[in-house]
A and B are shown apart, each in its own frame.
Chain A
Amino acid sequence: MDSQVIATQPTSAHGEHGHSPHLRHHFATVAQQREAASFGMWLFLLTEIMFFGGMFTAYLIYRNWYYPAFVAGSHWMIMWAGTLNTTVLICSSFTMAMGVYSAEMRNRKALLRYLFITLCFGIVFLGIKAYEWHDEWEHHHVPGLNFSINDFTHVDQRYPQDKPLAPDMAEKTQAYFSLYFMLTGVHALHMLVGVSILVVLLFHAWRGAYTTGHMTTIENFGLYWHFVDIVWIFLFPLLYLISRHQ
């Protein structure tokens, strides 16, 4: 090195963390790396908010335009399934939070336990969701692929208090079901991704990867999982709970 114009400081001054094996070369300290990772994750979640945002906008508009159709569509949702699924997701969020806590406590056994329970909850959720979709398919409620307005222009004995819709409005139930399938579909896709990542994480956790102080992966995955939970927290009242009293 000839000479240098800018004042520098030796790169070896890494602070008290020294050369942690997890520290990548372009970060100065582990804390810096960790903060960068969770900041990055949050920015990613912002994009997710906006991604769902487009669909929520559509939902708000159409719900106001075709309120009767949305009520009628919503009454075909299986209440017990929706409620159960909400509960399942909340439980999984709790176990996920506990998983992060266990990683923090460097408790490998507990981490494995909580991740495994979270995984099970995730799978149960997807199972119930699949059951519901199957039900809707049977009832010809899938716009585009398998749809009939029959259920909405006639009184159904299962919902005797629902007044039948005019054919015109009954067509608009497709707006409801289109959004229903988009929203729950994209949400389920996120769940599927989450469940797959969980399997990988479980494997790594089993080998003790996250209980030696390097836990950004678990932390970030937790953020993702909670976010998916939050989306469902909104989907549940918006799709299942429209005017249940009617």
Chain B
Amino acid sequence: MDEGVAILGVGVTPLRPISPELSQRELIFEAATKAYIDAGTEPAEIHSFISISEDFHEGTSITDEYTPDQLGAILRPVHTIAGDGLQGLAAACMLIQSGIADLVAVEGHCKTSNILNHEEVFAMALDPIYERPVGVPSHAIAALEMRRYLHETGLPEEAVAGVVVKNRRNALRNPLASYGASLTVEEVQASPLLASPLRVLHTSPYADGAVVLIVASAARARRKGRKPVWIKGIGWATETPWLAERSWGRATYTVVSAQMAYRMAGISRPRKEIHFAEVDDTYAYKELQHLQALELLTPQEATELTRGGDFEGPLPVNASGGSLGMGYCFDATALYRVAEATWQIRGEAGSHQVPGARTGVVCSWRGVPTTTGGVVVLQAD
């Protein structure tokens, strides 16, 4: 982006399977407080606030109305994006590039533990007339995609298990992650089948959390005297709602999003120019599928990489532990990964720091049954 938009501050709460000690608003207040301190700012300086939320996940409709207090946004411009976290980040870029705002707070949160019947929420996402009555669960939709992906690439199921082993091991080094574990491919493949070929351990477990990013114009970012991380390019796309019409083997929404983001960032050889990736792994096969769509690795190369079971390699992927290791928190997931990438580029990722992480990519997906996702390229100052 010509004028430049930067991530100036990051605040998160650790991802946890349950969070009974804090209400959702208290959780967001914690993340927001951390983000404002990290950016060296305060709510009064923020020109516009964006919240990512989906009413069915909240159990409250018009959730925007409940946003201002915990962000310090009373009587200020606030709006909600009922979409992927990266779509929210894109909205922040638009506010800044259009000159409406210099400093924007983007918030995402999830209290997955407060939803007692996820399957009913998922059912609401299917077409009510020709899909819902069939009664197929969300994991089965993912299984259909995994089957077609393995069919088209010729990869064995063990390649998918390798992703699980790597990400959950990486999570052991990330204090924000909830599901760090030392597993073997055999153990993953011995976990129960949910809907073949998808197994329990191929699936990222739910987690609660809140994340706030402070996004700034170039002028504001420089003035703050902090270490800005530049949003060099951003893209997002949706394929089609028709289940039978989508490209089950490929993440075409990522192909389109990556083209948009790479073009904006001036990246022509992603394999050479990108040093690390935080890639959606809601289901383990998605990581491999997304890496292919990002033109970063072929499925075979990705499999080779996961065999090492570590994030140190030519292209470290999900050094954070990903959703498999950190926990999955719906549309807030993408913002957590942007936070992770920001720390990597700043050199503040602690014991899971990727050496020489100057340019990174974050790739998101809105989950079953969507074909929506985004890509953002982040770069050091």
A and B are partners in one complex rather than unrelated chains: no
